[in-house]
Amino acid sequence: MQALLKIDTRLIYLLTFVVVAVAVLATLGLPVRVTPPTKALYDFVEKLPAGTLVWVGMDYGPGSKSELDPQVVAFFHHVFKKDLKVVIHSMWTMGGKIGQELVEPIAAQYGKEYGRDWVNLGYKPGNETNLRLCTSSIKECAANVDHLGSSLDHLPLMQQARALDKNTFGLAITFNTGTPGIREYLAIVQAEKQLALADGTLQMSVPEDIPFFQSGQLVGMFPGVRGAAEYEVLVGVKGAAVKAADGQSLAALYVAILVILGNIGYLTARRAATAQ
């Protein structure tokens, strides 16, 4: 057992890589416990009547794709299954493009038509000022064009989606990593317009955002990539997030085993030294 204290650390790192790789490649589907913020968001969406408008803020860039993309994918599987209508908006330069690339294949899978079932306004500059303008007139805040420069007048859905308020939309959610993001939505969309709001955020930002869920300002949230895995389980579409959760679970188990073996080796060595 004393040999455990002399294991080459490079071997430990190599085995960590192997453990995570096996989990990701094999899709083990280990049990995922659904936490209250994720379940609350799922239940809220479940109760929305077919045809309800949902506003989606794609407020992040390429650097956060690994954690937020799975959230977006899981969410759109749910809203399209429920036959909800979606308007995408972004306060981040690349947000609209990221949203288009993620949503197009999902929309095709469910037979959803662009312009009638969903619209991507794309990136709109102005941050908080632009978001506030959306609450009075979406056509004005979007300069009456979508992400491709097509007139909103030619998109049937935009005849219904006139303003970002509770009389028009049943839910707003922002997938975000900072500023502009959830704080602007809380101040304008939730506090001023009283529209139900949800949050998709990074794992590192969960401690900062969870109080807004606990206070009732958020109807639900995605707590990091773990939240995406939970949502995939609820929706019944297991994807990248479940694979990531498998990797995290196996890695945690692997580390726990190393800690136990390391302590056994230490205690054995100490006992042997005392006996001498």
Strand partners, 86: 54, 118
Residue 169 has pLDDT above 80, yes or no: yes
Which comes out higher in pLDDT, residue 5 or 274? 274
Provide the strand spans (E) within the chain: 53-59, 85-90, 118-123, 169-176, 197-201, 220-223
Show Cβ contacts of residue 227 under 8 Å, excluding neighbours closer than 6 positions.
35, 37, 38, 71, 200, 221
- The per-residue pLDDT for 13 is 77
The region of weakest confidence among 60-69, 91-100, 246-255 is 246-255
Lowest-pLDDT choice from 129-143, 177-191, 217-231, 257-271: 257-271
Overall fold of domain 36-237: Rossmann fold (3.40.50)
More confidently predicted of 213 and 274 = 213
Angstrom distance (rounded) from CA 212 to CA 118 = 28
By percentage, how much of the chain surpasses pLDDT 70? 86
Which pLDDT does position 136 carry in this prediction? 97
Amino acid, res. 106: I
Residue 226 pLDDT greater than 60, yes or no: yes
Burial class (CB in 10 A: 0-12, 13-18, 19+), 263: exposed
What does the pLDDT read at residue 137? 98
Predicted local distance difference test score (pLDDT) of residue 120: 98
Look at residue 192 and tell me whether its pLDDT is greater than 80. Answer: yes
High-pLDDT (> 90) share of the chain, %:
72
Instruction: Please report the pLDDT score of residue 93 as a whole number.
Output: 96
Does 8 or 114 have the greater pLDDT score? 114
Q: What pTM value is reported for the model?
A: 0.83
Instruction: Quick: pLDDT tens for 21-47.
Output: 766 666 666 667 899 999 999 999 999
Label residue 16 by pLDDT band (50, 70, 90). confident
What pLDDT sits at residue 8? 74
Q: Which residues sit opposite 54 in a β-bridge?
A: 86, 171
Interacting residues of 209 by C-beta distance below 8 A, sequence separation 6+: 182, 199, 201, 218, 221
In which band, very low, low, confident or very high, does the pLDDT at 271 lie, cut at 50, 70 and 90? confident
pLDDT of residue 276: 67
User: How many other CB atoms are found less than 10 A from the CB of residue 79?
Assistant: 25
pLDDT of residue 251: 61
Compute the average pLDDT of residues 205-227. Answer: 96
